[in-house]
Amino acid sequence: MAILSLRHSFVAALFLLSSVSAQSVARNKGPENHPRLTTYKCTNAGGCVPRTNYLVADALAHPMNQNCGGWGAKPLSGPCPDATTCQRNCIIDPIQDYSRNGVTTNGDRLYMTQLLPNGNVVSPRVYLLEENRQNYEMLQLTGNEFTFDVDMSKLPCGMNGALYLSEMEKDGGKSVEPLNQSGAEFGSGYCDAQCYVYPFANGVGNMEGKGVCCNEMDIWEANRAATSLAPHPCAKPRLFKCQGVECEWEGDCDKWGCSYNPYKVGNPDYYGPSRQFKVDTSRPFTVVTQFPTDSNGRLTAYKRLYVQDGRVIQNAYINVTNNPPLEALRNQNFMDEAYCRVSGGTERYLDLGGTTRMGEALARGMVLIFSVWWDESGGNMQWMDGITTNSGPCNADEGSPANIRRVEPNPAVTFSVVKWGEIGSTYRLNGRRSYREESA
């Protein structure tokens, strides 16, 4: 469940890096030094084959030539009296060293840190590019599954190591906005279901200050204390803009989502940082998310598995006692329409087409996003891991950024071995490798 103030603080952190935005690109300063990341495309017949991908930081995290505006409002009128002048005045520079943005890769491993060694907050967010580095990799997951390894051991209460999908344009908006010269290569075109106002939309000055929206699938929002899986469908495909009530709770996107959190469905001993939990977050583990369909190709459910110590761990089953409609689903450990009808706070999810609508977006293709962040708005990530919301064991104060610095001087997450393909093809089962062995 992504609450408005939480993404507010994350996006604001990006602007602490640059406080500006841009459309043109400073080509005379060399190429963008995109970090390389090996991923795997899988089939049941052939196993998993390595692929070469690259990562790009959001356009707002790039160096810029001047202040053209910050998050939460339209571009500044000085450099941006109109979209054409804005494009000419606001110039984005390439990133030469991604480690200064808290991002490093090694083969199929991605390491992201919240703080630089000097203590500066970076809150990195990066998108997966195709090998050509000109387009985003568009994952089509309806009827398929997605798997990754993760190390959450350095993410205490209040942190969020997130892996999610947004229905951005494949080229970052170049094909729909002729003024956009940056494109996916420089991280343009971000959107999500929260419909926040950005100074640029699809890489062009957002002169009317409209909200920027698109379908969002939160596969993984988590720290070592709690985790949440949450789809957020919208009324329209791809990136679109909203204004007024269209951007609000009863607007064109589902801001809360239908979420599945093991703690919240009655399993406080399922996920946590020791061997007493079924999923031990003090050590690396594998996360498998499946998107099964019916005979007509429509998405029917969101299913989760974990793999650790060579064994498959089934997702936590519903185990509540204070919600009779939800209690009736005790034999269920996945999210579907029946679950979303009774889990609470899901009115907009259902009104906007629910699982079917989300499946249509996943079938069209969505961009894979990795991020790590904390909440500076005062909410302390309680929506995801807090006692106050029955979402986890964290008290109201321990997730504050100040406390995080005390208990973990280097809050960071490692994502690795990212794989997608046919259901059953991406993870180890009964000790057998699900990926193709390289020849000696």
The two beta strands, 271-272 and 216-222, are unpaired
Q: Are 17 and 122 in contact (CB under 8 A)?
A: yes
If DSSP states are collapsed to H, E and C, what string results for 251-320?
CCECCCCCCECCCCCCCCCCEECCCCCCEECCCCEEEEEECCECCCCCECEEEEEEEECCEEEECCCCCC
3-state secondary structure of 342: helix
Q: What residues are paired with 165 via a beta bridge?
A: 217, 368
CATH code, domain carrying 368: 2.70.100.10
| Segment 184-200, tens digit of pLDDT | 999 999 999 999 999 99
Say how many domains are in the chain: 1
| Segment 127-145, tens digit of pLDDT | 999 999 999 999 999 999 9
Q: Are 292 and 300 in contact (CB under 8 A)?
A: yes
Q: Are 385 and 392 in contact (CB under 8 A)?
A: yes
Within a 10 A sphere around the Cβ of 178, how many other Cβ atoms? 9
Q: Please say if the pLDDT value at position 368 is more than 50.
A: yes
Mean pLDDT of all residues belonging to the chain:
92
CA neighbours closer than 13 Å in the CB half-sphere of residue 204: 18
Nearest to 25 by CA among 52, 54, 71, 56: 56
Q: Which residue's structure tokens are 């064991």? A: 393
CA–CA distances in Å: residue 243 to residues 3, 6, 210, 248, 348: 19, 20, 5, 9, 18
The DSSP letter of residue 60 is: G
Residue 429 pLDDT: 55
Segment (H or E) for 240: strand 240-242
The DSSP letter of residue 92 is: E
Residue 415 pLDDT: 98
Determine whether 216 is an active site residue.
Answer: yes
| Residue 25 resides in a domain | no
Most confident of 13-17, 70-74, 205-209: 205-209
| Residue 76 resides in a domain | no
Calpha distance 114→154 (Å, rounded): 10
Q: How confident is the model at residue 26 (pLDDT cuts 50, 70, 90)?
A: low
Q: Which residue's structure tokens are 């009104």? A: 351
Q: Which of 167, 177, 185, 221 is catalytic?
A: 221
The DSSP letter of residue 244 is: G
Q: Please say if the pLDDT value at position 17 is more than 90.
A: no
The two beta strands, 366-374 and 24-25, are unpaired
Residue 6 pLDDT: 45
Calpha distance 105→112 (Å, rounded): 9
| Residue 79 resides in a domain | no
Calpha distance 53→138 (Å, rounded): 12
pTM exceeds 0.85 for this model: yes
| Residue 209 resides in a domain | no
Q: Which long-range contacts (CB under 8 A, 24 or more apart) does 99-102 make?
A: 101/17, 101/57, 101/61, 102/372, 102/412
Over residues 79-103, mean pLDDT: 95
Contacts of 102 (CB under 8 A, 6+ apart): 112, 113, 114, 115, 116, 122, 123, 124, 372, 412
Write out the two tokens for 123. Answer: 């809150």
Q: Which residue's structure tokens are 């809150």? A: 123
| Residue 438 resides in a domain | no
| Segment 230-263, tens digit of pLDDT | 999 999 999 999 999 999 999 999 999 999 999 9
| Residue 385 resides in a domain | yes
Residue 227 pLDDT: 98
Q: Please say if the pLDDT value at position 228 is more than 50.
A: yes
Over residues 370-389, mean pLDDT: 97
| Residue 229 resides in a domain | yes
Calpha distance 137→32 (Å, rounded): 17
| Residue 356 resides in a domain | yes
Calpha distance 20→60 (Å, rounded): 7
Q: Which of 32, 145, 167, 216 is catalytic?
A: 216
Residue 320 structural domain: 32-62+94-189+216-428
Nearest to 315 by CA among 351, 243, 265: 265
